[in-house]
A and B are shown apart, each in its own frame.
Chain A
Amino acid sequence: MSSHILSLLIFIPAAGALLMLIGHRFISGNEASEDSGKTADFHKWIAAVFTGFQLLLSVWLWLSYVPNGGIQFQEHHAWIQSFNIEYFLGVDGLSLPLIVLTALLSFIGVVSSWNIKKSVLGYFSLLLLLDTAMMGVFCSLDFFLFYVFWELMLLPMYFLIGIWGGPQRMYAAIKFFLYTLLGSVLMLLAMLALYFYTEPHSFNLIAMIQSGAAIRDTFWGMDIRMLIFVALFIGFAIKVPIVPFHTWLPLAHVEAPTAVSVILAGVLLKMGTYGLLRINYPLLPDQVYIFAWSIALLGVINIIWGALNAIAQIDLKKMVAYSSVSHMGYVLLGMAAVVSTSAAGSQAGINGAVMQMFNHGTITAMLFLLVGVIYEKVHHRYIFFPKDYKDPELAGKLAFGGLAGQLPIYSGFVALAFFAGLGLPALSGFISEAMCFIGGFSVFRTLTIIGTLGILLNAIYFLRSYMHIFLGPVSNAYKGLKDMNGRELLTIVPLAIIVIALGVYPKLMLDVISPTMNSLIKLVQSMAMMVGIN
């Protein structure tokens, strides 16, 4: 089947960015270099319309996707023929939810950035460029193309944090950039190794499933398969982020503007686990067996370590950032269950992991958006003021209190998002977390039992911060705050609906992803058998 819908999905935002650059000249005339109100509106609306169109297109893609139909909407063209590099796009149950998530969060990111003042053209064009790159990553089935889009993400992200971020933005941006680049280097090495070891040399991720099984060599006495796996794993681990490669995350999240935090936590983190499932699992299944226990262990460490850190935070945004570390741990635990001998266990684990990727994307997006709402109102987001706060009278004191009485709508949505974050049933997070645990438990009992502590730890920081900010005696400092406005509701309500809908009726999601993921399990288990678990 040949269609161009995926190319369209990828390049709509880029086209929007281009239109902005051209239109800017026409509207502002040649002399005006600063953004006038007129051009700012132009850029915002271009961004909103293009991402909105992309979102509609992605919904259409979801609706016309056939769950049992394998890889669909393929586009296959030769690109750089001398190296057998292809322009190869396609969608299956693993990438589809993430494509929709990307489109959704990009649109919401644009809407939530409506009040950006600093060089609007630059901001929105970079945001759209980022959108193109992310979409490209999820649609690519050629490793080289994947890598190109992967690297393309870095550039706009670097500038978005570095220019529109908080006080420590330069430090945060450079840290994010270098950390991620280290991962990219390892990924590049692994990619080249895969290319040269497969016969015929290829970057085609589907073809390499078969040809990759034949790779047999050693390098300095080490199994080359293991080396490739580890290099790829570290490359992806930095993105997830897996402890101990996680410290770029809280800093980048805290410094980034709201929309960028939303996209960073909502989409970019998933690329790590997506990469593992898309490349490591099918290409090196025997290594998955060797490393499954370690992946589960890392998952449990993520769950506990992220949660413990989150409990100690006094900055709400940092708390949410660490909660992401914890929640991504569930994904790893679920993924590790692919080696389960019980079919129910492995299916619960893998499908749970993919659902958790999507659910965390929506829940954490809600959390960051809501933090952004309060930050825009009062220009800080402390739960407690730090001990060295600029105003010594406030230092170390409770920052808010009793907001629930003044901002009923806002506090209601925060409660919903927090409950979703702590895994309350009837909200989407519960289903995927429970499935990850069920999967994990079918193979790694002790580890999973330790991991279930996360159920308690996550509740601790969400409920404590909720109490400190929204409950208790009303603080006089924030009387007369206005509740959420229509634009803010437009960003939150769709996410809230998704979170509730998938919590009550997870079939909506599971039916789309499970055929793909079940065949991935079969593939990994049978290929591992073929390659031989050495």
Chain B
Amino acid sequence: MFKKRFLTPYLFLTPALIIIAIFIIYPIVAVIYYSFTDFSIVTPPEWVGLRNFQQLVNDPVFWQALLHSFIYLLVTPVLIILCIILAIIVNRKLPGIHIFRAIYYIPVISGSIAVGICWRLMFDTNGLLNSILLSLGIIVEPIQWLAEPAYTLPIAMLLTIWMGLGYYMMVFLAGLQNIPEELYDAALIDGCNNWQKHWHISVPGLRPQITFIVVISSLAAIEVFNEIYILYGPLGGVLNSGVTMVFYLWRQAFRLQHAGYASAVAIVLLVITLAFSIGNIRYLERGSEAA
């Protein structure tokens, strides 16, 4: 009887454990192994010890990619601020507000390839943006936005923000609707203006959502790939200006066929994201307890 009761939970866990083992544990173990090998995907791996990691340390493009990934984290605070403002705006009971909420959500459900093509057309030398700037007399010659290293990351970051705005706004909107209305009434009686009302009630009330979004959006930012690929293609922008960690990993694995080296990059990325996530959660939880 005891044995049966002991085994039952494991029996229920087995299907999930099998899936986790196949799709998470095995790939992680395999990547750790490959990171110590010279492996070109199409040929069998050959053990090289720490050579890939030594090569990483001396690889300027890897450091450039790491820097770009950290720069990309700037999208997180921008997203949070913009989304909270948007959520507060669409939280009002105005006629047709549902239409606005739906419009803001459209980029989230749009296909990334279609979005990428639209953005490429917009930033093209002969595209919409240059046409507007030229017609307003702001520029006298078209700017080659997609071939200027200085604009590579900002354009990709703008795209990330635009695509994520609707989803994160919905999360904040749900959070705002859970804040009791009485708190705002009390604040009004106390003489708070609109800004003070939101700063002292809405923002603290949204702390769980902020924690959640900081973690997921910063992880998404540090692992960015799609936006770079769809805007700049397999080269990742001129002079590696758009090459991020995951993009570099992809290039090494699938263009140059250095899967062993790419695995070493993946291990570094894993360590960074783990450390980053743990640090983020601890910091925000500590803040929550203090509040």
Instruction: Please determine whether chains A and B interact with each other in the same assembly.
Output: no
